[in-house]
C-alpha cells in the first residue's frame, strides 16, 4: 500500500468494493468489517505528494536534503541523520493516518469496522506500530512461536487498545 489517501481509496474500491457489491446482491447480507493483514510489501518511501506532505508535517523543504536518501552526507552527518529521522517519521505518520486511517473511514462510511495488523511484524517499513494500530477499530497483532520477538506485535496491539480506548484487541496465529 502507498501511504496516500487516493491510493488507499483505489485499493479499497477495487478490492473491498468488489466484495461489497457482490455481498449486497444477496438480500439481507452484509459485511460487519474487514481485516487488513500485515504489510508485507517491502519498504516504500515515496508517493506523488510525499514532498508536500513532508514539508507540511516537518515544517521545512526536503529538496536540498534528497541526496541523503541515497547515502550522501548533506552539510553534516548530524544534519543528514536528523533529516533521515524526519523522513522515517513522516512515512510512519502517513502510513498510520493516510493508509490505516483512510481504510477505517472508508469502512465506517460503508457501515463496517476495520481490524488490522497495522503494520505487522517482520516488515522493513518505517512505522510507529502503536500509532498505526490506533487508526483501527480493533488493533490486531500476530505471533509465531519460532520467532524470538514473535509476541511483540500482540503486546503492541494490547497497548494500542489501552492507549486509544478500544475495548478489544485481536491476534492472528497459526
Instruction: Tell me the DSSP string of 98-147.
Output: IIIIHHHHHHHHTT-EEEE--S-SS--S---HHHHHHTSSEEEEE--TTS
Asked if the model's pLDDT at residue 159 lies above 80, the reply is yes
Rounded CA Rg of the chain: 18
DSSP 1-28: --SSHHHHHHHHHHTHHHHHHHHTTSTT
**Stretch 127-139: mean pLDDT:** 94
- Sheet containing 138-142: give its strands across: 33-36, 113-116, 138-142, 170-172
Question: Tens of pLDDT along 79-94?
Answer: 999 999 999 999 999 9
The values of phi and psi at residue 173, to 5°, are -140, -175
Residue 61 falls in which region: left (phi positive, over 0), alpha (psi -120 to 50) or beta = beta
**Stated pTM of the model:** 0.88
Where in the chain does DSSP place strands (E)? 33-36, 113-116, 138-142, 170-172
User: For residue 104, what pLDDT band results from cuts at 50, 70 and 90?
Assistant: very high
* Residue 122 predicted with pLDDT over 80: no
Specify the pLDDT at position 149.
Answer: 64
pLDDT digits (tens, 9 = 90+) for 30-89: 999 999 888 766 677 788 899 999 999 999 999 999 999 999 999 999 999 999 999 999
C-alpha triplet 23, 28, 31: angle, nearest 5°: 45
Residue 134: all three cell numbers together: 490506533
- Structure-model confidence comparison of residues 125 and 118, the more confident one: 118
Amino acid at each position: 500500500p502507498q501511504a496516500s489517501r487516493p491510493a488507499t481509496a483505489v485499493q479499497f474500491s477495487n478490492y473491498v468494493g468488489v466484495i461489497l457489491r457482490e455481498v449486497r446482491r444477496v438480500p439481507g447480507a452484509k459485511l460487519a468489517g474487514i481485516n487488513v493483514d500485515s504489510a508485507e510489501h517491502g519498504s516504500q518511501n515515496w508517493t506523488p505528494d510525499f514532498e508536500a506532505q513532508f514539508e507540511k508535517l516537518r515544517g521545512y523543504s526536503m529538496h536540498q536534503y534528497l541526496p541523503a536518501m541515497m547515502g550522501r552526507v548533506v552539510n553534516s552527518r548530524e544534519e543528514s541523520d536528523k533529516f533521515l529521522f524526519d523522513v522515517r517519521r513522516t512515512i510512519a505518520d502517513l502510513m498510520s493516518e493516510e493508509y490505516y486511517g483512510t481504510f477505517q473511514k472508508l469502512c465506517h462510511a460503508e457501515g463496517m469496522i476495520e481490524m488490522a495488523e497495522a503494520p505487522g511484524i517482520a516488515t522493513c517499513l518505517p512505522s510507529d506500530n502503536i500509532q498505526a494500530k490506533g487508526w483501527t477499530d480493533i488493533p490486531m497483532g500476530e505471533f509465531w512461536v519460532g520467532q524470538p520477538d514473535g509476541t511483540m506485535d500482540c503486546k503492541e496491539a494490547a497497548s494500542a487498545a489501552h492507549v486509544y480506548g478500544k475495548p478489544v484487541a485481536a491476534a492472528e496465529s497459526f
